[in-house]
Amino acid sequence: MCGIVGYVGPRPPLQVLIDGLHRLEYRGYDSAGVALVDGSRLSVVKRAGRIADLEEAVAAAEPPEGRVGVGHTRWATHGAPTTLNAHPHTDCTGTVAVVHNGIVENWAELKSELIRRGHRFISDTDTEVIAHLVEEGSDLSLVEAVAEAMKAAEGALALAVVRTDQPGLIVGARRGSPLVVGLGESETFLASDIPAFLSHTRRVVVIEDDRVIEIRDGGVRIFDLDGVEQPLVEKVIEWDLAAAERGGYPTFMLKEIHEQPQAIADTLRGRTADGGVIALRELELPEQILRMVDKVFVVACGTSYHAAMMAKYAIERWTRLPTEIDIASEFRYRDPVLDGRSLVIGISQSGETIDTLAAVRYAKAQRSTVIGVSNVVDSALARESDAVLYTRAGPEIGVAATKTFTTQLVAMQLLGLYLAQVRGTMDPGTIGLLVAELQALPDKVGKVLQTEPQMEDMARRFAQVRDFFFLGRSGDFPVAMEGALKLKEIAYVRAEGYAAGEMKHGPIALVEPGVVVVGVATDSHVRQKTLSNMEEMKARGGTIVMVVEEGTEDEVSGLADEVVVIPQSPDLLCTVTAVVPLQLLAYHIATQRGLDVDKPRNLAKTVTVE
């Protein structure tokens, strides 16, 4: 996720762009840049770091003003967050500048082909291929050249492009990543999101997929990729600026819960090929090393540890490799038995959690191979690991992890299937079926989000409940743990996540009328056992909430006080769908209790102390 802005009009564009980028900083903040067109001159200024760093660079460079400019704030997906990799990117002639939000899936093929045709690349980004593709269309109008580039590029693209031979023009394009136009009096804005220009105009045009747009100070024209002009549908925004930054949601956490279908699609993008093959190109680890591994350790903290719990089941089931999981702060102090054939996977959203970093450093000292799974490109975890798999959830502002958790689950499922593929422990047909099911997850999560009114209603009734249990077995166990953690951290309610079969060994003594017991029973091979355990909770007077898959709701009709139905998915993949109603339940209980869900007490988003 990145933020792009563009401006054509009578004001000095630089300040409009910088203000817009500040408003989009929630979309990414590892580097930023602007390109300004003044007559036939193109000036590009960019910097690693926050937008304040860009402002300093701009002040020092004193670029010419002109009437047209584009800007970008980056959340890296390809290439480290350096000044060189910051956008805008330019072509060989220095006459084209491009800002991009999204992922060009076939960038490697395009780049090789463009290099073969004599183009020179200077960054590690996927975006730079777009600048060179547009350069190839120098004999076309800019709108035609961008349409051709869109046809060549696969994946998600929101673009803003300028070219010095058409100095009064920005060309935008969109497929898969958001793009909106703001219509002012004799000025026009382009952005990834409305807050970028809401202080200037409330009149917007939302751009659809596979559209190319011409933006001038007098307005906008929209075309499809074949150059056929499309109608322009204008609407007026009623939100205030603060609400607009949260996409109209009351909090960042709720926005991020609703971003999960997109975040999961981004995490999958370009990592599976036709025929169900997993292609984790960026892992850059010789397959020979993965074939040699004889034991796996997965280490993480908090929510990321719950993703590790799911990973253990997935890796053991799909690869038959013995897999241990550890809370990172415990790992090195228990003196684990590691050697050169051990694979250690560290999972950390921030990639800066000191306990997880200490665990992977310990593993490297034992000569083990380390894979980092992180949401932040070039984080300490990414740099210190032998290989890295990014989750691509985009920045998460709410302190409680939501979209970063479901994307960690998906990343670990991809990694588990990849290991099975490389080691030949699963037949390609079965991997292909699971890949197809992974691809279906964004839509299914979208469907689960429709349970929100039910979860909100439940939250109203449970807002004053003091004790919750969340129970599950197998893949449902990490989901139960995560449901309990969400409720604890944002609603300040005592909530225990437990293995359903373990309750009878002690904690069942706490179950009595007034206690709510949430059972997750989606994993087919243990469902009946979980249901028996839930009967035991009901017999002790607990209020029973069941999360089950479509087609199994009849099995719990006599047991549950509340039934939440989610779409069917294969075992382990259903962790991704099953956790969503529990996020919503915790969220709405917290808001019923009048709490600040984005900034819960005593917590920090990144924990850099032991």
Among all residues, which ones are annotated catalytic? Answer: 2, 605
Nearest Cα to 214, choosing from 202, 204, 227?
A: 227
Considering the rule CB under 6 A, would residue 583 count as an interface residue with ligand F6R? no
Question: Of all residues in this chain, which one has the CB nearest to ligand F6R in the complex?
Answer: 302
Please identify, using beta-carbon distances, which residue of 18 and 328 lies nearer to ligand F6R: 328
Give me the least distance between CB of 80 and ligand F6R, in Å please. Answer: 19
Binding track over 471-500 against ligand F6R, x by CB under 6 A: --------------x---x-----------
Please identify, using beta-carbon distances, which residue of 356 and 533 lies nearer to ligand F6R: 356
Please identify, using beta-carbon distances, which residue of 302 and 442 lies nearer to ligand F6R: 302
Please identify, using beta-carbon distances, which residue of 387 and 400 lies nearer to ligand F6R: 400
Considering the rule CB under 6 A, would residue 353 count as an interface residue with ligand F6R? yes
Placement of tokens 């990973």 in the chain: 311
Give me the least distance between CB of 303 and ligand F6R, in Å please. Answer: 3
| Burial class, 156, CB count within 10 angstroms (exposed 0-12 / middle 13-18 / buried 19+) | buried
Q: Which stretch binds ligand F6R (CB under 6 A): 18-26, 56-64, 348-356, 427-435?
A: 348-356
Q: Which stretch binds ligand F6R (CB under 6 A): 33-41, 97-105, 136-144, 347-355?
A: 347-355
The binder of ligand F6R chosen from 188, 350, 522, 583 (CB under 6 A):
350
| CB crowding 13-40: b at 16 or more within 10 Å, else e | bbebbbbbbbbbbbbbbbbbbbbbbbee
Cβ atoms 580, 375 nearer than 8 A: no
Instruction: Give the separation between CA 44 and CA 32, rounded to whole angstroms.
Output: 11
Binding track over 284-303 against ligand F6R, x by CB under 6 A: -----------------xxx
**Positions 510 through 569 that interact with ligand F6R (CB under 6 A):** none
Residues in the chain: 610
Binding track over 109-138 against ligand F6R, x by CB under 6 A: ------------------------------
Max Cα distance, the chain (Å): 79
Q: How far lies 286's CA from each of 145, 279, 382, 390, in Å?
A: 39, 13, 17, 18
Cβ atoms 287, 423 nearer than 8 A: no
Neighbouring CB atoms inside 10 A of 503's CB total 22
Give me the least distance between CB of 218 and ligand F6R, in Å please. Answer: 47
Please identify, using beta-carbon distances, which residue of 345 and 526 lies nearer to ligand F6R: 345
Give me the least distance between CB of 493 and ligand F6R, in Å please. Answer: 15
Please identify, using beta-carbon distances, which residue of 150 and 589 lies nearer to ligand F6R: 589
Give me the least distance between CB of 59 and ligand F6R, in Å please. Answer: 34
Q: Cα-flanking dihedrals φ and ψ of residue 386, to 5°?
A: -75, -30
Please identify, using beta-carbon distances, which residue of 350 and 451 lies nearer to ligand F6R: 350
Token readout for 236 is: 């007026």
Give me the least distance between CB of 330 and ligand F6R, in Å please. Answer: 14
Number of residues that bind ligand F6R (CB under 6 A): 15
> Where are the strands (E) in 384-510, listed by range?
387-390, 467-472, 494-499
Please identify, using beta-carbon distances, which residue of 349 and 533 lies nearer to ligand F6R: 349
Considering the rule CB under 6 A, would residue 329 count as an interface residue with ligand F6R? no
Please identify, using beta-carbon distances, which residue of 353 and 569 lies nearer to ligand F6R: 353
Token readout for 219 is: 């307005």
Considering the rule CB under 6 A, would residue 256 count as an interface residue with ligand F6R? no
| Burial class, 425, CB count within 10 angstroms (exposed 0-12 / middle 13-18 / buried 19+) | middle
Q: Cα-flanking dihedrals φ and ψ of residue 340, to 5°?
A: -65, -15
Token readout for 573 is: 């993949």
Token readout for 57 is: 């660079």
Instruction: Give the separation between CA 210 and CA 226, rounded to whole angstroms.
Output: 10
**Positions 355 through 384 that interact with ligand F6R (CB under 6 A):** 356
Give me the least distance between CB of 481 and ligand F6R, in Å please. Answer: 11
> Which residues, other chains included, contact 362 with Cβ-Cβ below 8 Å and sequence gap of 6+?
331, 332
Task: Tell me which H or E stretch contains 446.
Answer: helix 428-448
Considering the rule CB under 6 A, would residue 267 count as an interface residue with ligand F6R? no
> Where are the strands (E) in 51-124, listed by range?
68-74, 89-90, 96-104
Give me the least distance between CB of 398 and ligand F6R, in Å please. Answer: 9
Angle formed by the axes of helices 428-448 and 403-423, nearest 10°: 170
Instruction: Give the separation between CA 521 and CA 518, rounded to whole angstroms.
Output: 10
The binder of ligand F6R chosen from 125, 348, 569, 575 (CB under 6 A):
348
Give me the least distance between CB of 13 and ligand F6R, in Å please. Answer: 37
Which one-letter amino acid corresponds to residue 489?
E
Give me the least distance between CB of 353 and ligand F6R, in Å please. Answer: 3
> Which residues, other chains included, contact 502 with Cβ-Cβ below 8 Å and sequence gap of 6+?
none
Please identify, using beta-carbon distances, which residue of 196 and 380 lies nearer to ligand F6R: 380
Q: Which stretch binds ligand F6R (CB under 6 A): 19-27, 350-358, 522-530, 573-581?
A: 350-358
Q: Cα-flanking dihedrals φ and ψ of residue 3, to 5°?
A: -115, 135
Nearest Cα to 169, choosing from 150, 188, 151, 184?
A: 188
Q: Which stretch binds ligand F6R (CB under 6 A): 315-323, 345-353, 504-512, 539-547?
A: 345-353
Give me the least distance between CB of 395 and ligand F6R, in Å please. Answer: 12
Q: Cα-flanking dihedrals φ and ψ of residue 558, to 5°?
A: -85, -10
Q: Which stretch binds ligand F6R (CB under 6 A): 32-40, 79-87, 342-350, 439-447?
A: 342-350
The binder of ligand F6R chosen from 192, 304, 543, 591 (CB under 6 A):
304
Cβ atoms 214, 26 nearer than 8 A: no
Half-sphere exposure of 307 (CA within 13 A, CB side): 32
Please identify, using beta-carbon distances, which residue of 95 and 349 lies nearer to ligand F6R: 349
**Positions 396 through 435 that interact with ligand F6R (CB under 6 A):** 400-401
Binding interface with ligand F6R (CB under 6 A): 301-304, 348-350, 353, 356, 400-401, 485, 489, 606-607
